[in-house]
Every structure is written in C-alpha cells, then in structure tokens.
C-alpha cells in the first residue's frame, strides 16, 4: 500500500565504499535505492556508467574522460552482428559497485 511522504534517494552518494553506501540506503530511507558511487570510480559517473559494452567508446579513468573512437568502426559492426533482443547487457561491478552491493 502506498504511504505518502516516504523518503528515498536517486543515484549518487559521496561514499567510496559500496557496502557503507548500501548500509546508509537501507538504514536511513523508507524506500531503498541503488547507490551510485562516482567518487569511487569514474566508471560510475552518470554517463560513463552506461557505456559498458558500447562499441567505440573509450574511457580513460586517470584523466576522467570518455570519448568515441571513430577509427574503431569494426567494433560497431561486431556489436550489431552479435546483438540480439535476448542479449545479456548487464552492468558489471566495476561500473556499478553500489548496485552489486545492493543486490
């Protein structure tokens, strides 16, 4: 049953440890949410987090940037040759430590 005025959160927390973030989410909010940890890894930034497995996308964690490598078009071809509606395109732990700890 819906109860008005329950607390929850969306996304990023300042934590760097996934388990600490999950403990906060489970202990302090009425409705738990997936804690994202952009300070823990550049891969957990809002845009970078969802680029895993995308062809031609490059991430440089040291300089905290990402870009599209337009010279790697063969990756795009391979992607579409192997993709199907039933493909498992889950976000792995390096891209979503908070999600994996939460689950």
Q: Give, for all 103 residues of the chain, the pLDDT tens digit.
A: 888 999 999 989 999 999 999 999 999 999 999 999 999 999 999 999 999 989 999 999 999 999 999 999 899 888 888 877 666 677 889 999 999 999 8
Q: Please tell me the distance from the alpha carbon of residue 22 to that of residue 7, in angstroms, as a whole number.
A: 15
Instruction: Give pTM, 2 decimals.
Output: 0.78
Q: Reduced to 3 states, what is the DSSP secondary structure of residue 60?
A: strand
Which pLDDT does position 11 carry in this prediction?
Answer: 85
Which pLDDT does position 60 carry in this prediction?
Answer: 96
Which pLDDT does position 12 carry in this prediction?
Answer: 94
Which pLDDT does position 80 carry in this prediction?
Answer: 85
Of 40, 58, 62, 34, the C-alpha closest to 48 is 58
Which pLDDT does position 68 carry in this prediction?
Answer: 96
Domain residue limits, the chain: 1-40, 42-84
Which pLDDT does position 4 carry in this prediction?
Answer: 94
Contact 35, 18 (CB under 8 A): yes
Q: Reduced to 3 states, what is the DSSP secondary structure of residue 49?
A: helix
Long-range contacts made by residues 69-72, C-beta under 8 angstroms, separation at least 24? none
């Amino acid at each position: 049953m819906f109860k008005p005025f329950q607390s929850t959160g969306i996304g990023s927390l300042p934590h760097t440890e996934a388990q600490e973030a999950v403990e906060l989410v489970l202990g302090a909010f009425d409705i738990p949410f997936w804690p994202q940890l952009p300070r823990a890894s550049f891969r957990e930034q809002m845009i970078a987090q969802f680029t895993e497995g995308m062809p031609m996308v490059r991430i440089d964690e040291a300089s905290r940037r990402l870009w599209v490598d337009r010279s790697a078009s063969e990756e795009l071809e391979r992607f579409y040759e192997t993709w199907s509606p039933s493909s498992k395109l889950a976000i792995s732990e390096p891209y979503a430590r908070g999600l994996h700890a939460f689950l």
